[in-house]
Chain A
């Protein structure tokens, strides 16, 4: 498969450059892998795509040639009524067979290579799909968070995926490809991210009203940054200064409906919505759909169903002062 493959590798940058000219950057692209898994898939796809382009050129070329060369000309003799040709039939049966063998061999090799179990020592993370947000649990580190996954660069990760409700699909194109998140099943993705950065992803299996708003982010960090993040996440939640708006907010939180659904370590124990213990350490809210700032948080608390159709979180209908206090408290939870 070397010739068309190389040819395509030469064509690909040009094609991408043409694309980049019309828009970009493309943070969620499948064509710029940043892990061993992403690279293996991209390599396989590039090879197959090369074959597809070659076949496309040959077959469409034959078709066009036939149409131009054999167009009706006035006064030409009637065409010869050929009915078939056995040798030709055998040839154009075997040619695709050969090409498909060239596609099938690396395919099957990649299937087994990419579905091997996680090695011992891999960082284990449980990914749990909810309508419409992601829960992440690091069983060996004692960390629970939502929507934004943090991973150390260069360390193999084993994700165990399952769902709390309907079928979702965990898709982070640059590093983790895609795997369905099926209730009653545990699926696996094993990969080693190789470049520090933020990689967006989102749910890829239609999962109801707000399927489009079930997004996520993966932060691949240096070891030290990751360890610092873990330490922060394991720390108890920040205690607001007495008589500050945040302290009022905490009291409102404790005496309001919030505790029914959300956990803040040592404050509340709800499990229906995301864990908020370190909400302010995240960059986004509501399934990585809105930025984590005071304005969006206030809109979210009071208008969740408008911000995210079908949202389980209700319109809290708080008075401005209470809303401000709650937001101040949530924004203090670094």
Chain B
């Protein structure tokens, strides 16, 4: 069968590969938006008493930088790979619920657009300025985010945007759990599952368990701001510390939602490029599971300065240190995978090794603030900004770029250029260290985070300027990547089925894969089928017509209802919530009764 083309085919697609690409491009655009916000932040801080932007705008920029990077860039970039790669890796024709998958994507897109519309709609709220973007930090601490202290619609955009995005994450989480548990190819036992798919499974469980917690926190905040409740209001007997517990009970598992997929990518790339199986597969998988479990018992290490008392501090300090152990074990197993191999230094490997090298730094600075007394000097300073960027940029972003270079040939059928890729890698590695390493000193020397200005008396002006230069080097590195991507469309080498000599099932089919993925679903007998049993997974001619689900408009229609409901609250138009709900219900109803074939 031939693949349909044209705009309609993309708007109605339920093919996991197309949805993966939609996720990728949307998330990549948001990644660039978050990056521009970061460059504005760094430009403001390039010198003391900077006045590129005013305080209000700066607070919007850092709030939206964090919110965008976490919810609109890094999570959905991981999800792009879940979508494109996992069904191929497990030998399936699609995800378990293809139309729910499309729904997840449209909800994500609309949630992101809804959040970012706040940059331009100030005049509608008589705000006296163009922007009413969220300005309470990505962590939205109550009671600052209560109506009393944040009067405008800024925080409403934030909390409603996150509620919309939560729906997308939950739907995606359930979909991938069911897919991985039920749609594996014959012979693909759980302990033969590629590690990236394993980490997708673990991450999906974290998504469906962590998002309900922030949903509750956000509902409380929404009710406090709009319907007169007092969950976080001291004057009425509420407590703002409740928000912190709920937020970080979500927020710390969220950290692992962000890092585990990248760890999965690295666990795929290292074996391929060292020509050896992953060292300690079982241990790496169990460490991932253990990290996900232990991630639920450490949330108060974000709150060591709150004053929870010495016993709580001691307990959460101990659990936090414990979680360093499975993380360290993973790193040792990765190094052991390289050990004794024949390492090919192609771009995916460079990014994967960059991940390990940088993540070690982020992990170690993490141990220094696992100690509550030490953390009392570090929390809310640039030292922590350095830490999270070593983990989320040095870790997640480099890991995701490893995935992009690794799987790009599979996704598009074309190779990315190796020279441009290497320039991209080295600029990015140098840029991030120049940008983020000085932040350790900036913090230890006394500069708090989330300040739009600082005094020259602090003595950190030079270090800040250096950091800003590094941020722009990262920006230049991104231009090389974008150029590489554009160039590969016409000038990229044709990839072939398995350009890197990978061992897992996604390399058994053509690049890009046909709409049905595999002409015949392969039967696997080992963890590394393309190395151990290439003949048994080789593609054969289809035995008959292959059934794939047809396209549908209804997932997108249903998704449109959610931002309508959210707009209702911001516009104080109650009728709109009923319209939005009706659209969601009608969309789901139509999609439920739509004939499976189109």
A interface, CB within 8 angstroms of B: 19, 22-31, 40-42, 44-45, 48-49, 51-52, 55-56, 59-60, 62-63, 66-67, 70-73, 76, 78-85, 88-89, 92-93, 96-97, 100, 103-104, 107-108, 110-112, 114-115, 131, 165-167, 169, 171, 173, 177-180, 182-185, 187-188, 200, 202-213, 215, 309-310
Contact = CB atoms under 8 A, between A and B. Distances in A.
A104 B340 CA distance: 35
Given A88-B336, A180-B306, A167 B444 contact: no
Interface string B365-381: 10110111110111111
B332 A206 contact: no
B208 interface: no
9 contacts: A27-B457, A44-B371, A48-B374, A89-B280, A100-B322, A173-B446, A182-B241, A212-B453, A309-B55
Interface string B154-189: 000000000000000000000000000000000000
Contacts of B419: none
B558 to A, nearest CB: 37
B373 A204 contact: no
Given A70-B339, A167-B141, A187-B307, A108 B459 contact: no
A45 B377 contact: yes
Q: Which one of B141, B324, B328 has the highest number of Cβ atoms from chain A below 10 Å of its Cβ? A: B328
B317 A177 contact: no
Contacts of B458: 26-28
Contacts of B445: 19, 26, 28-31
Contacts of A184: 234, 239-240
Given A28-B458, A92-B332, A167 B318 contact: no
B331 A107 contact: no
A292 B279 CA distance: 65
B321 interface: yes
A82 B276 CA distance: 7
B498 interface: no
Q: Which one of A62, A72, A166 has the highest number of Cβ atoms from chain B below 10 Å of its Cβ? A: A166
A51 B365 CA distance: 11
A80 B279 CA distance: 11
Given A59-B331, A184-B240, A211-B451, A103 B144 contact: no
A79 B279 contact: no
Interface size class of B (residues with CB under 8 A): 35 or more
Given A108-B317, A184-B239, A309 B54 contact: yes
A41 B462 CA distance: 27
Given A56-B360, A70-B342, A88-B336, A179 B305 contact: yes
B129 interface: no
A58 B555 CA distance: 52
A92 B344 contact: no
A84 B282 CA distance: 9
A103 B371 contact: yes
A166 B144 contact: yes
B147 to A, nearest CB: 12
B356 A63 contact: yes
B275 interface: yes
Interface of B: 54-56, 59, 136-137, 141, 143-144, 149-150, 234, 239-241, 274-277, 279-283, 305-307, 309-310, 313-314, 317-318, 321-322, 324-325, 328-329, 331-333, 335-336, 338-345, 353, 356-357, 360-361, 364-365, 367-368, 370-374, 376-381, 441, 444-455, 457-463
A115 B309 contact: yes
B376 A41 contact: yes
Given A79-B276, A96-B325, 11 more contacts: A48-B371, A52-B364, A63-B360, A72-B344, A78-B275, A84-B281, A89-B283, A103-B367, A182-B240, A211-B452, A309-B54
Contacts of A62: 335
B221 to A, nearest CB: 14
Contacts of B136: 206
Contacts of B457: 27, 200
Nearest to A177: B376
A212 B452 contact: yes
A88 B336 CA distance: 10
Nearest to A52: B364
A183 B235 CA distance: 9
A280 to B, nearest CB: 22
Contact of B321 (A104, A205, A209, A212): A104
Given A62-B335, A108-B317, A166 B149 contact: yes
Contacts of B449: 206
B459 A204 contact: no
A165 B54 CA distance: 23
A169 B305 CA distance: 8
A103 B341 contact: no
A90 to B, nearest CB: 10
Given A41-B374, A73-B342, A83 B361 contact: no
A260 B579 CA distance: 49
Given A56-B360, A211-B450, A167 B149 contact: no
A212 B451 contact: yes
B234 A79 contact: no
